Amino acid sequence: MLRLIFLVFVVLSLVSCNKLEDEKKFKIGFSQTGTKDDWRKSMNKSMEIQAEFHPEIELKILDSDDKVENQIKDIEQLISENVDILIVSPIKSKQITPVVEKAFKNGIPVIIVDRKTEGENYTAYLGGDNYQVGINAAKYIASFSNSLKKIIEIKGLSGSSPALERSLGFEEVVTNNPNLEVIKVIEGNWESYSIKNSLSKVLDSIKDVDYIFAHNDRMALGAWQVVKEKKLQNRISIIGVDGLNGPNGGIQMVKDNKLLATILYPTGGDEAIRLSLEILKGKTVAKNNLLNTIVIDARNADIMSKQFDKIYQQQQDINFQQDKIKLQEKNYTSQNIALRLLLVLLILSILLGVYSIYTSYNLKKKKRELELQNRKITVQRNQIKKIAKEVKASNEAKTNFFTGLSHEFKTPITLILSSIESLSEEKKIRDSKILNELSLIFNNSKRLLRLINQLLDFRKLEDRKFIFRASETNLFTFINNIYKDFEREAQKRNIDFKIEGNNLDLTIFLDRNLMDKVFFNLLSNAFKFTPNNGKIIIDINDERSTNFVKISIKDSGIGIPDNELESVFKAFYQGSNNNKASSGIGLHISREIVELHKGSIEVHSKHGSEFLITLYKDRAHLSSDEIVLEPAMVDNEVSGFNQEYEDDIYDTEVISKSEEKYTILIIEDNSDLVKFLKNKLSISYEIYTSDGNDGIEKAIEIIPDIIICDVNLPVKDGFEICETLKKDLRTSHIPTVILTALGNKESYIKGLESGADLYLTKPFSLAILSQSIKTLLYNREKLRYYYINSIHNIGQEAEFGTIEQEFLQKLNLIIRENIDNSNFTVENLADQLLISRVQLYRKIKAILGISISDYIQNIRLDKAKELLKDSTLSISEIAYASGFSSPNYFSTAFKAKLNISPKAFRDN
């Protein structure tokens, strides 16, 4: 025990004396053009202050002394030093571009500040918006009066991007403003001395000058010195750029009345460091980062100066606080060492205490035994809770199973009853049509039979009463016959459906009746969850080197979540992404049947689902009483009803329209029911369909007259779709019919709360559905008649309960507010209503029966009639007041509407 204490003491002592490893520092290199002017000095200072806030940064600034060759060498040096990030303020764009691109291609992030390069090979640009600087300067000059103002522009260094962009921005405003005229352009190199001689000669030759716009404050100061020398300071106002604070800055020159104004051009030094940190942390940054600019003149110069002074003072305070923090860190380090030593002593004390109370071990042992007993009781209680939870989940699963199964039954029953009803109403029908109807009844009867058989098969599996009888079977022929049952479905939905095999003559022993259920179930699931234009492949692979054959059924459907792959073969299990009606026992039965064959079935899911069945090729795994002799299967073997006419009933051609038909959108995922309704309703209506995945989108796109919607749909149920459409301004007027297998009171109330106009439960009568559609359309026409005859009287003070009335009230208000604006268009109206032009046209057409253009013109003409009756305005004035673009167009429209000219109307 003493040895252990000594060892702990030595280890903790060593740990307490070790120094913390230095944190990794990021190296930032900055190539500055030069530091002769205060603006560049201010940029460097703000960078250094910002870098001090981040101890993980090492900032290195190189001064190029305004020489391009020096700057190229500086950048090459920083590249060779492997800086983590490179910041460059180019002297001249063209010459610096190649070396900047070299750094970028070497994997070094590059930030360009103040001036741009000619290429795009850099990480980000940061700087003032030079183009906006030029615009602000020109607009500021233009704001003084409407008289012609003659301007001399003093541009910066030729070849630099700020000079080019400031000139372009300035030129844009001058070109579009007849009161501004640039009479002379002088080029400098950003320093005051470079423009004095040129400006002096210009002022000697041109006497009529109002303003001078210099691209920076230093050249502006040189311009002021020339103007003062010629005693023109009271006539010529000077605007500069930079807006630095301090005794030699642009703000002080404005306060001293040397400059009329200066345009703030921030240095961006601190922003460059912040942007570098974002990049170093791996964050995505914008390519172009522009800094805001403002005009500083006598109105705000003093405020800006004080603000900058305050910021500078705060920065000094921060530096002082940082120094204090560093001192505190040193104190903390020494105190930390002392604390660690005290901690070592404390641990030693604890170990000695533990050693001294070692004699109490027996008492603790007794206590531990009691704790173990208590833990066992807790485990048993948790097991009881888990069993109760599993029983509850099992009961819920069975309830969901029978509920889902009842929904599965109701749609086929609906089709059967509707088909029988249709047959009973037909007095004279063609034989082919009888075959079509009987085919539909037969197909859905087979579907009901398969569902019932699944129940029986499940019961047999549970009771272990399956009779297994295997016979020698050509595997490819057997699966190919099942494949042909799905060919028509694949063609209708444009699914790439293939069967492949590497041994077409392979025979194995299997129970044909049972394996038919397996492959039919797997293919049904594949088609259920594969979208239109998808892909389903059956691959039969005879592994000649082994005694097994593998059958793969692969689809491009929605797939199965990875965490649910082990559960898909459990009874009553339904995947979290499965929104389709399902019994949940098909895959469970399939696995049991495959295992009866001593085979295996597994599932993979990547870009869809793949079920892989492995079966023996010989008969060694079977007993003699499990083998029976059956005749060989014939290819293309098909049993039951002649399916030649299965879908012919849905191919009937829509009768050509002598007049525009009402449109109906059917949102239903059962293809048989969709085709049946389409066939019956297309004689009188224009039919559109959706399987539920895009029901809302199609309704908004088409704006139909009626929507028929099922409740049990893949993505959103019918209640959600109905509620969404009824709350949407674009579709709120459309009557909606809900079709559902849910006949309980709660579901009926939920359907009405969602906004449904009619709620029909399956199985429903086609005659009732047809008459209900006619009634809804008739009521819509009555409502349209009401709107047309009273819509102009709807004012802001009226209160209405429907979205349509509120919509029309808002529509009228917007039109009346813009009644005298001839440039107000349908597009403007749609924008203010927050819908598209096409959707506005369709909604107004559906509600009022006229186009939105005609409606707006009618309101304009009503306004004109009022003015003609009560106003002393001329015809031309009334035309413009009513929003018409010209009196001639107004007269033409007025006469076309009222069969009388405006003048004759006023005279009468």
Same domain, 612 and 467: yes
Helix axes 361-425, 431-463, angle to 10 degrees: 160
Query: Judging by DSSP bridges, how do beta strands 662-667 and 706-710 pair with one another?
Result: parallel
466 and 597 both lie in a single domain? yes
How far lies 386's CA from each of 301, 373, 380, 395, 400, in Å? 76, 20, 10, 14, 21
Contact predicate 504/530, CB 8 Å: no
- Whole-angstrom Cα distance, residue 906 to residue 889? 17
What is the rounded distance in angstroms from the CA atom of residue 901 to the CA atom of residue 551? Answer: 84
**Domain match, 141 and 263 both:** yes
- Pick the last residue of a domain from 789, 808, 827: 789
Q: Can you give the pLDDT at residue 438?
A: 58
DSSP string, 395-451: HHHHHHHHHHHHHHHHHHHHHHHHHHHHHHH-SS--HHHHHHHHHHHHHHHHHHHHH
- Note the pLDDT of residue 334: 84
For residues 634 and 660, membership in a common domain is answered with: no
Q: With contact defined as beta carbons under 8 Å apart, do 679 and 652 qualify?
A: yes
Question: Tokens 């268009």 belong to which residue?
Answer: 825
Are residues 754 and 902 both part of a single domain?
Answer: no
Same structural domain for residues 629 and 674? Answer: no
Structure token pair of residue 149 = 């103002």
The low-confidence residues of the chain, meaning pLDDT below 70, are 1-24, 315, 395-396, 398-467, 571-584, 630-659, 743-745, 763, 783-802, 804, 849
- 425-428 long-range Cβ contacts below 8 angstroms, 24+ apart: 425/767
Under DSSP, the state recorded for 626 is G
pLDDT digits (tens, 9 = 90+) for 239-275: 999 888 888 889 999 999 999 999 988 888 888 998 9
Distance CA 244, CA 366 (A): 82
* Residue 418: per-residue pLDDT: 65
The verdict on residue 607 lying in a domain is yes
Look at residue 828 and tell me if it is in a domain: yes
The CATH number of whichever domain residue 866 belongs to comes to 1.10.10.60
Summarize pLDDT for 684-718 with one digit per residue, the tens.
899 999 988 888 999 888 888 899 998 888 888 88
Question: Which of 736, 767, 789 is the last residue in one of the domains?
Answer: 789
| 154 close to 186: Cβ distance less than 8 angstroms | yes
Do the beta carbons of residue 254 and residue 262 sit within 8 Å? yes
Domain residue limits at 752: 652-789
Is 658 in the same domain as 625? no
pLDDT at site 642: 36
How many whole angstroms from its chain centre is CA 778? Answer: 40
Residues 235 and 208 sit within 8 Å (Cβ to Cβ): no
Q: Which CATH number is 608's domain given?
A: 3.30.565.10
Contact call for residues 86 and 64 (beta carbons, < 8 A): no
How far is Cα 360 from Cα 367, in angstroms, rounded to an integer? Answer: 11
- Do 733 and 861 lie in a common domain? no
Judged by DSSP in three states, 257 sits in coil
CA 586 to chain centre: 37
- Among 626, 644, 662, the domain-final residue is 644
Report pTM. Answer: 0.36
For residue 213, the model assigns a pLDDT of 95
Q: How many domains does the chain have?
A: 4
Classified as helix, coil or strand, 902 is helix
Give per-residue pLDDT as tens, 363-402. 888 888 888 888 888 888 888 888 888 777 776 676 566 5
Return left, alpha or beta for 758; rule: phi > 0 is left, psi -120 to 50 is alpha, else beta: beta
How far apart CA 706 and CA 773 sit, in angstroms, is: 8
Q: Closest Cα to residue 469, out of 625, 601, 633?
A: 625
Query: Residues 614, 475: one domain?
Result: yes
Which tokens go with 747?
């579901």
Rg (CA), the chain: 43
- In one-letter notation, the amino acid at residue 498 is K
What CATH number is attached to the domain comprising 720? 3.40.50.2300
Residue 29 lies in a domain: no
Q: Do residues 725 and 771 both lie within one domain? A: yes
Q: Are strands 261-264 and 706-710 parallel, antiparallel or unpaired?
A: unpaired
For the chain, give the mean pLDDT: 80
In-domain check, residue 388: no
Q: Is 150 within a domain?
A: yes
- Write the CB contacts of 386 (distance below 8 Å, at least 6 apart in sequence): none
* Residues 562 and 684 grouped into a single domain: no
Pairing of strands 211-214, 237-242: parallel
Are residues 842 and 717 part of one domain?
no
- The verdict on residue 892 lying in a domain is yes
CA distances 55 to 22, 43, 52, 621, Å, are 11, 20, 6, 75
Contacts of 616 (CB under 8 A, 6+ apart): 508, 509, 547, 548, 597, 598, 599
**Residue 170 resides in a domain:** yes
How do 662-667 and 685-690 pair as beta strands? parallel
User: What is the predicted pLDDT for the residue at 568?
Assistant: 79
> Considering the domain boundaries, does residue 140 fall inside one?
yes
